[in-house]
Amino acid sequence: MLDCTPKEITERKSGGMINPAKTCQPIGAMYAALGIHKCLPHSHGSQGCCSYHRMHLTRHFRDPVMASTSCFTEGSSVFGGGANLKASIQNVFHIYKPDVMAIHTTCLTETIGDDVSSIIKTAEVAADKLVIHANTPSYVGSHITGFSNMTKAMVSYLAKNTLPKKKEQANIIPGFVNPGDMREIKRLVQSMDIEYIMFPDTSGVVDSPMTGEFQMYPEGGTTVEQLKDTGNSQLSLALGRFASSDPADLLNKQCGVPAAVLKTPIGIKATDALLMTLRNSFAREIPKELEIERGQLVDIMTDTHFHFHGKTVAIFGDPDIVTGLTEFVLSLGMVPLHVLTGTPGGSSNSAAGSFEDDINEMLKGAGIEANVKSAGDLFTLHQWIKNQPVDLLIGNTYGKYIARAEDIPFMRVGFPILDRSVHSYLPIVGYQGAMRLIEMISNALLDRADRDAKDEDFELVM
Amino acid sequence: MGMNEAKLQEILDQYPAKVQKNRKKHIFIKRSDVESQQIEANTRTIPGIITNRGCAYAGCKGVVLGPIKDMVHIVHGPIGCGYYAWNTRRNKAKSDDPKQNFINYCISTDMQESDIVFGGEKKLTKVIDEVMEIFNPKAITLSATCPVGLIGDDMGAVAKAAEAKHGVQVLSFSCEGYKGVSQSAGHHIANNILMEKVIGTGEQEEAPAKFPINLLGEYNIGGDGWEVERILKEIGYHVVSVMTGDGSYEAIKNAHTAELNLVQCHRSINYIAEMLETKYGTPWLKVNFIGIEGTIESLRNMALYFDNKELTLKTEAVIASELARIEPIFEQYKKICAGKTAFCFVGGSRGHHFQNLFSELGIETLLAGYEFAHRDDYEGREVIPTIKTDADSKNIPHYTAEVDEKRFRLKVSPEKLEELKAKIPLGEYKGMRFDMKDGSIIVDDLNHFETEEFIKALKPDIFTSGIKDKYVIQKMGINSKQLHSYDYSGPYAGFNGAVKFAEDISMGFASPTWNFITPPWKNQPLLEGSVTEEGVA
């Protein structure tokens, strides 16, 4: 397995990727758009883009992912995609009847410079229908950038400040996480008795129930009314800087809604931070049930600390998720040796901050020296592991090849997970999500210990 | 419940006028009382329609080049295209030399904004240099994505310079996603260049063993190609090369040494089979290793072609022993499947091939179609001369093979060839329509709207299609099976494959899960009793 990857690391300067740890913007935009109620995402580009994105999202969620395409040919690439997009808008509303059509661009339409905004303005759209768009050039950022850009488009097109006084209401921008995570975050906020609008919200869309009937537009998703009302909220909580801080910033600029940028609430510290922000901003005490959950989590962490304390780990995936996971494994006393994201990491000065700075800061606090990289690839991660082996690899499905090559336990977290099911329904966020993560970490490590134990060392109780 | 013209019209009436006019030409109901039924195929999908189609890049890098294991395939473009075509198509490969098996690697130039503005040729050159340094492959392919053609990167020049620098073949494929109208354009782009620059460059003048064949249009999805090879080897054939499942650059170079070319997927490669005949004098035989009967017929046709007593006897012996082994198992599954109905919509040729397997299991195919086929795949090869070339196919570079004076050799005499053609499909394919029952529906480039409507109208028991449809169909409570990826199972080809397929779809029918769709409280009132004026009694 991966026998062509040498242990010896030679510096690569080309800027090319070998076994990438990111994909392109449009898929993130498509996923975000699914989080609008009765919305059909539309890919303005070649058919292949739309097909690939639908395939990958469908494989991850194991649920229908509907989206349309402008079906570019060479002619439209030369003469511009205006005619294709206008025809698409007409056909989509006539045939598929969404309330909203959310268009994202592709590298093709960005390269030829299609002015989507102007095309939409001159297209025929019924009064009760809505077309929004985001520019998502595939050659900038990653799928996380695309998710952020489409979420920003929801704000720029829809958010309005219509009231003299802000409502006692929170905007929750969950970032590129699973519907199970979105549900859990909503449960936390609800249990604190705080009014909120989550956007985008893919719960109820890509985890829809089996009823014997196919619904093109399932019940979930943020409604257009809610999206408009985000401008009236008292506070925006951007969970995960890379996926969520830009739309929150825009809401602030556009409607004067202040933003709190927090980590994706993975693990005890980030969940504490989310609840404390809610508590202090809305003057609501943390309810008993959440305090009990937290106590249970700490109880588990204490009871089983010897299962994972001191174990070395490599983590890769999307920056917000990896940041949360790194913080949590540190809380468990584990030792992250390699931490990598494929998404370009911004810089210390950018709005999203620097992934590498964030991780290094955490590691410094724990007194750990590790390999940390943004805009990295899995070839690099594999070479790191060859030179400095770890007890556990955490990441999306693509990690399984490295795990097999190096014979290390592997725990699947993040996007995409293409070879296991149920993951998108169950949270990794909040205290309950943290319990689930501990279970996954412990199982991975203990299954390996059981597999490798000699008969005489094979234990009933561990 | 069947489909008739009036019902079909009712479905189409829901479209906007322009769409209706277009889609009408892509659908027909089979009638055998008319000599020909023309379908429109390999033409543009209407913008906004939720199609299953992909792009030229997917057909070129994803389908044809990707499976060639001992070449490094570099994707020149932003990251997504390389990423999505990485290990997603189940084209399995194994190699005696793991250091020259690159099947699990994805290499992309990851173009950034500056590359779009200033050009990506330098970056591509550097990536090739790195690939040579790290992997040292025998050959490299470069596949273009949409922006490459638009910004005018000269991949051909980069490839030529890299060949001079590194001394290995570097092939450049201009398979930008907007070329053509579907994956089919990409198959052509890939295959034409393999034909022009790889096939026939090997040094072998003769195959090292008797009865040498090439297996064309077999992509080894779920190990299909391995099952076919298992049977062929047992009979005594020598497989020179497979294009391209578990394929190898080294083997394809020597493909000229085969005595017969087998064509499994007609759509993706029939033109190469024709060129091989022109260039080397090797005839091609349309085979179908999907289904027990299809497999047997293909093996017997091959034996007729080679006309060797020993080979013929061995063919029959293998067929007999395989049948004895699998028939009792297959019979069990027939009991579960008999009387059921199916829709079969797949990419190129599987939309036709799998109807055989369905039929052997007692399942009737009510609707079938292809995602990216051409008219000949529906109507038969006789329509090829009448197919008009439109603007979208004109931009795909044409390659015309010429006779290789040194290596051209008639494999059978012209008289013998004519005699054989009367018995077996040498250079012949009659198309999907030929095998379908009257009243069944044939649809080209089936889209989401039609999928829903046809399901509602005909209520099939199983729908075989791709991942984008799969969960839509299942939500309707209908058994659904991916025939692109085989739902991660397989092989489905050959004798073992037929059994595996029967097992898998029977599992879909027999799964207890369907019984749970309606919750028990939906069929039972909350309170038993009657409502009186005073309230619930």
For residue B98, is it within any domain? yes
Question: Of the candidates B314, B321, B256, B337, which has an alpha carbon nearest to the alpha carbon of residue B501?
Answer: B337
Which amino acid, one-letter code, is at A380? T
Q: Is the pLDDT of residue B530 over 70?
A: no
Rg (CA), chain B: 25
Residues from chain A contacting residue B45 (CB–CB below 8 Å): 47, 71
- Side chain identity at residue B375, one-letter code: R
Contacts with A76 from chain B: Cβ below 8 Å: 178
One domain, residues A280 and A364: no
Asked if the C-beta of A421 comes within 8 angstroms of chain B's C-beta atoms, the answer is no
DSSP per position, B430-446: --HHHHSPTT-EEEES-
Could you list the residue range(s) of the whole structural domain that residue B94 is in? 56-178
CB A1 within 8 A of CB B104: yes
Q: Does pLDDT of A347 surpass 70?
A: no
CA atoms within 13 A on the CB side of B109: 30
Which among B47, B77, B82 is the nearest to A107, CB-wise? B77
CATH number for the domain harbouring residue A114? 3.40.50.1980
Q: In chain B, which residue's Cα lies nearest the Cα of A111?
A: B147
Q: Does B351 touch chain A (CB under 8 A)?
A: no
Tokens for A270, please give them.
């980030």
Residues of B in contact with A65 (CB under 8 A): 468
pLDDT value of residue A16? 98
Q: Percent of chain B beyond pLDDT 70?
A: 98
| A301 touching B (Cβ < 8 Å) | no
Q: Do A299 and A279 belong to one domain?
A: no
Residue A56 structural domain: 25-158
pLDDT digit string (tens) for B194-203? Answer: 999 999 999 9
3-state percent breakdown (helix, strand, coil) of chain A, nearest 5: 45, 15, 35
Structure tokens at B371: 């995602």
Distance to chain A for B221, nearest Cα, Å? 17
Angle between helices A47-61 and B467-475 (to 10 degrees): 50
B34/B379 Cα distance (integer angstroms):
12
Q: Is the pLDDT of residue A353 over 80?
A: no
Flag whether B114 is in a domain.
yes
B70 found inside a domain: yes
For residues B227 and B260, is the Cβ–Cβ distance under 8 A?
Answer: no
A400 and chain B in contact, CB less than 8 A: no
**Across B238-266, average pLDDT:** 98
The active-site residue out of B23, B26, B53, B187 is: B187
Active site residue B90: no
Last residue of a domain, one of A272, A288, A304: A288
Q: Which of A236-250, B1-15, B59-73 has the lowest mean pLDDT?
A: B1-15
| In chain A, % of residues over pLDDT 70 | 98
- B433 annotated active-site: no
Q: Cα(A215)–Cα(B331) distance, rounded to whole angstroms?
A: 38
Which among B41, B55, B207, B368 is annotated as catalytic? B55
Q: How far apart are CA A134 and CA A147, in angstroms?
A: 10
Subunit contact A208:B127, Cβ cutoff 8 A: no
Q: Which residues contact B107 (CB under 8 A, 6 or more apart)?
A: A16, A17, A18, B72, B73, B74, B75, B82, B127, B131
Q: Which residues contact A460 (CB under 8 A, 6 or more apart)?
A: none
Q: Round to the nearest angstrom and report the end-to-end CA distance of chain B.
A: 46
CB B478 within 8 A of CB B505: no
**Binary contact (A1, B104; C-beta < 8 A):** yes
Mean pLDDT (chain B) is: 96
A385 alpha carbon, distance to own chain's centre = 25
Residue tagged active-site, from B53, B76, B89, B433: B89
Size of interface A-B (CB pairs under 8 A): 263
- Interchain contact, A24 vs B79, CB within 8 Å: yes
- Residue among B80, B88, B98 whose CB faces A3 most closely: B98
Q: Is residue A421 part of a domain?
A: yes
Strand B238-244 and strand B169-173: the pairing is unpaired
The answer to whether B135 faces chain A, any CB pair under 8 Å, is yes
| Strands B212-218 vs B169-173: parallel, antiparallel or unpaired | unpaired
The Cα diameter of chain B in Å comes to 102
By the 8 A CB rule, do A166 and A233 touch?
Answer: yes
Print the SS3 string covering B161-221: HHHHHHCCEEEEECCCCCCCCCHHHHHHHHHHHHHHHCCCCCCCCCCCCCCEEEEEEECCE
Shared domain for A185 and A141, answered yes or no, is no
Coil, strand or helix at B462: strand
Residues A274 and A306 in one domain: no
What b/e string do you get for B274-295 counting C-beta neighbours within 10 Å, with b at 16 or more? bbbbebbbbbbbbbbbbbbebb
Q: pLDDT of A127-174, one tens digit each?
A: 999 999 999 999 999 999 999 999 999 999 999 999 999 999 999 999
* Whether residues A190 and A65 fall in one domain: no
Residues of chain B with Cβ-Cβ distance to A63 below 8 Å are 471
Burial label for A335, CB within 10 Å (0-12, 13-18, 19+), is: buried
Is B45 within 8 Å of A71 when comparing Cβ atoms?
Answer: yes
Summarised one tens digit per residue, pLDDT across range A285-300 is 999 999 999 999 999 9
Whether residues A331 and A234 share a domain: the answer is no
For residue B235, report the phi and psi dihedrals to the nearest 5 degrees.
Answer: -75, -30
pLDDT level of residue A457 (50, 70, 90 thresholds):
very high
Distance from CA of B122 to the nearest CA of A (A): 9
Closest CA to A55 of B240, B331, B142, B62: B62
The span from the CA of B340 to the CA of B359, in Å, is 10
**Residue A386 and residue A303 in one domain:** yes
**Bridge partners of A340?**
A316, A373
Give the tens place of pLDDT for each residue, B83-125.
999 999 999 999 999 999 999 999 999 999 999 999 999 999 9
Indicate whether B17 belongs to any domain: no
Residue A261 has pLDDT above 70, yes or no: yes
Nearest to B327 by CA among B495, B130, B98: B495
Q: Show residues of chain B in contact with A74, CB under 8 Å.
A: 176, 178-179, 391-392, 395
- The reply to whether residue A72 touches residue B110, judged by beta carbons under 8 angstroms, is no
pLDDT of residue A437: 98
Q: In whole angstroms, what is the distance from residue A68 CA to residue A41 CA? A: 7
Looking up tokens 């085969």 gives: B258
Residue A47 included in any domain: yes
A348 pLDDT band, cuts 50/70/90, is low
CA distance B465 to B469: 7
Give the per-residue pLDDT at B537: 45
Q: Pick from B44, B108, B182: which is nearest to A20 by CB? A: B108
Q: What is the ipTM of this complex?
A: 0.97
Q: Rounded distance, CA B15 to CA A285, Å?
A: 56
Residue B62 lies inside a defined structural domain of this protein? yes
pLDDT at residue B76 greater than cutoff 70: yes
Domain count, chain B: 1
Residue B520: predicted pLDDT: 94
Strands B531-532 and B535-536: antiparallel
Domain contains A247: yes
Q: Do A17 and B79 touch (CB under 8 A)?
A: yes
Say if residues A102 and B142 touch (Cβ distance below 8 Å). no
Q: Is A84 found in the same domain as A51?
A: yes
Number of domains composing chain A: 3
Q: How far is B512 from chain A (nearest CA, A)?
A: 14
Closest Cβ–Cβ partner in A42, A66, A139 for B78: A139
CA diameter of chain A: 77
Burial of B488 (0-12, 13-18, 19+ CB in 10 A): exposed
CA distances from B478 to A217, B190, B458, B463, B469 (A): 19, 37, 12, 7, 11
CATH of residue B71's domain is 3.40.50.1980
Same domain, A186 and A321: no
| Closest residue in chain A to residue B49, using alpha carbons only | A68
Residue B536, pLDDT above cutoff 60? no
* Residue that is last in its domain, among A243, A267, A288: A288
Say if CB A37 and CB A116 are below 8 A apart. no
Q: Is the dihedral of CA A382, A385, A386, A392 positive or negative?
A: negative
**Same domain, yes or no, for A152 and A189?**
no
Q: Judge whether residue B353 has pLDDT over 80.
A: yes
Q: Of residues B58, B175, B185, B401, which has the active-site annotation?
A: B58
Whole-number Å distance between alpha carbons of B254 and A363: 56
Cα–Cα distance for residue pair A381/B85, rounded to 1 Å: 21
Average pLDDT of chain A is 97
Distance CA B237, CA B312 (A): 11
Q: Tell me the C-alpha distance between B206 and B183, whole Å.
A: 34
Residue B191 backbone phi and psi in degrees, to 5 = -65, -40
The answer on A201 and A138 residing in a single domain is: no
State whether residue B287 sits within 8 Å of chain A by CB.
no
- Is residue B89 annotated as part of the catalytic site, yes or no? yes
- pLDDT tens digits, residue range B448-472? 999 999 999 999 999 999 999 999 9
Shortest CA distance to B70 belongs to which of B87, B92, B95, B106? Answer: B95
User: To which H or E segment does residue B81 belong?
Assistant: helix B79-84
Residue A17 in any domain: the answer is no
Strands (DSSP E) contained in A185-296 are 195-198, 233-239, 259-262
**Rounded mean pLDDT of A415-443?**
98
Assess if residue B134 is contained within a domain. Answer: yes
Instruction: Give B256's DSSP letter.
Output: G
Please answer whether residues B74 and B108 qualify as being in contact, where contact means their C-beta atoms are separated by less than 8 angstroms: yes
Residue B320 lies in a domain: no
Residues 386-405 of B with CB under 8 A from A: 391-392, 395
End-of-domain residue from the set A263, A288, A313: A288
Amino acid at A325: L
Q: DSSP letter at A348?
A: T
The answer, yes or no, to whether residue B528 has pLDDT greater than 80, is: no
Residues in A touching B448 (Cβ below 8 Å): 66, 96
Q: Which two tokens stand for residue B158?
A: 């980069």
Domain presence at residue B174? yes
Question: Two tokens at B183?
Answer: 């994956």
Shared domain check, A310 and A280: no
Using the predicted structure, report yes or no on whether residue A42 has a pLDDT greater than 50.
yes
Contact A252, A244 (CB under 8 A): no
Q: Kindly identify which residue of chain B lies nearest to residue A77, measuring between CA atoms.
A: B178
Any A CB within 8 A of B17 CB: no
